[in-house]
Structures are given as C-alpha cells and as structure tokens.
Structure 1
Amino acid sequence: MIEVTEKAASELKTLLEQEEKPELALRIFVAGVACSGVQYGLAFDDEVKEDDVTMESNGIKLIMNKDIETSFSEGSIDFVEDENGKGFLIRNPTAGGCGTCGGGCH
C-alpha cells in the first residue's frame, strides 16, 4: 500500500480546499523513465478508468493504473520543505538506485 504522510495529506487537503473540489483524488502516473528508474508524477483527477485501482491513505483518495501498482506498491508520498524550496516527494523503495546505467545521478 502507498502511504501518504500526514504532512503531505495536510498539504493536499489544503490544495483541495483552495480549489473547492474536495471530491478529487490524487492520480499517480508515470512521468518518464531515466537511468535511475521510473519517474512518477501527481495530479488531481475525478475520473476512475476501467484499468485503474483506487486506495486511500490519511484521508487522501489515490488513483493509479493497475500496471503502476505492481511496481509502486510499497511507496510513499511526502511533503518536504527546506532551503531549496518545498514540494511533494515520491519515494519508491522498489525502484532501481542511482547510477544503474553507469552514469551516476546528476
């Protein structure tokens, strides 16, 4: 199961309130592939497609394609804030690490 941390859930609920659309779910999707593995993206969505799976964590509804669920079933979504800025961080412990192509991370 994918965990949405309490901090991320709080930020997401604030965004949903600002949009005045509390019924929206958070869609997890493949945003690209790099040598360090699959890169995931997030977007609000109100449509559940035939090949989607749904779940909930910390009061946030999640939607993703069933193909993603098999490779991202143990992940987490967090909200981080530091000297470089703030944003959502997607962690997938089953993804390959940096440098799997031999080039390292940049």
Structure 2
Amino acid sequence: MTASTYPEPQGDIPTKEISISEFGAAKAQSILAGSGKENAGVRVFIKSGGCSGYQYGMAIDDRELEGDLIVVDRGIKLLVDRMSLPLLRGSEVDFVENMMGGGFTVNNPNATSSCGCGHSFRTDNAQAPDGEGSGGCGSH
C-alpha cells in the first residue's frame, strides 16, 4: 500500500481527515522553515500512555512512509500513519499560547475525555492500552 495524498481543499470544502488551524499553520511554517529539512511536514501520531490512555505526538518529518495519509492544509503537509488515523480522523492541529508558554494541541472529535494538560485522551468504551494510563499529567 502506498501513501495517500489529499491536496489542499478548493473553495469552502474542508479536509475531513485532519486539518490545521490558521494560527497552527503559521507556527508550523516557522518551525519547518528552521528545520533544515526540505519538503518536511508535521507528523501527527498516537501512542499509548498518558493519563487518559492515548497520547498525542508530533514531529518534523521529511519521510513519507508506506500507508501514510498525507494532507496539505493551509500550505502545511500533515502526515498520519495508518494506525493513528482512526483515532485522529476529523481532528484539527492548533497552537495555543497561555501563561505557561505555548504549544501545539489537537482538537479531536473522537476523544470522549482528556487529561487537564490536553496531551492525552480516551475514546468511548476504550480501556487504556496494556494497562497504562493511570498516572497523572506528569507521567507523560
């Protein structure tokens, strides 16, 4: 199976799989420009752990792996592996600034609960994988 690419939407048709906010795109563009990697994008992924069962991860990546979903939104290439996609479908990557600093976050319609720090989540009727997920926000 090869990577699936979804071009930037035309008109008012939103990208359904995953998107990035205007502010998130501006921050990502700045980070990507300083990365030194040509044709790099933002890889968004899910891993087990965190206080709610699953934890978000993001990285600058210039590789397109077999099975990746590749979406270009607001000029930013977003890469999602096939295992993470079902849990991220319909999500929006954003950047938030607050008194503690700033960082990327994921607005995920699939999450039914999340920890207070916003870096981990749980879906309906899903137990934490492998018995993980009982720690607090500091356990990331």
Under a length normalisation based on structure 2, what TM-score does the superposition of the two structures give? 0.64
Runs (4+) of structure 1 exceeding 3 A deviation are: 98-101
Q: Is the contact between residue 30 and residue 38 of structure 1 (CA under 8 Å) also seen in structure 2?
A: yes
5 Å-filtered alignment, 1:1-106, equals 1-34=17-50, 36-98=52-114
Range 3-12 or range 48-57, more displaced? 48-57
Q: Is the contact between residue 37 and residue 62 of structure 2 (CA under 8 Å) also seen in structure 1?
A: no
Q: CA offsets per residue over residues 9-42 of structure 1, 9 Å max, x none?
A: 0011111222243510111122333452421110
C-alpha distance in structure 2 between counterparts of 1:53 and 1:98, whole Å: 25
* Count of residues paired in the alignment: 105
Runs (5+) with no aligned partner, structure 1:
none
Q: Per the alignment, do residues 35 and 96 of structure 1 end up closer, same or farther by CA in structure 2, a change over 3 Å counting?
A: farther
Greater strand proportion: 1
Runs (5+) with no aligned partner, structure 2:
1-16, 116-121, 128-133
**SS, match of residue 47 in structure 1:** coil
C-alpha distance in structure 2 between counterparts of 1:68 and 1:30, whole Å: 5
Range 30-39 or range 58-67, more displaced? 30-39
Q: Per the alignment, do residues 86 and 34 of structure 1 end up closer, same or farther by CA in structure 2, a change over 3 Å counting?
A: closer
Under a length normalisation based on structure 1, what TM-score does the superposition of the two structures give? 0.82
Q: Per the alignment, do residues 61 and 73 of structure 1 end up closer, same or farther by CA in structure 2, a change over 3 Å counting?
A: same
C-alpha distance in structure 2 between counterparts of 1:25 and 1:41, whole Å: 14
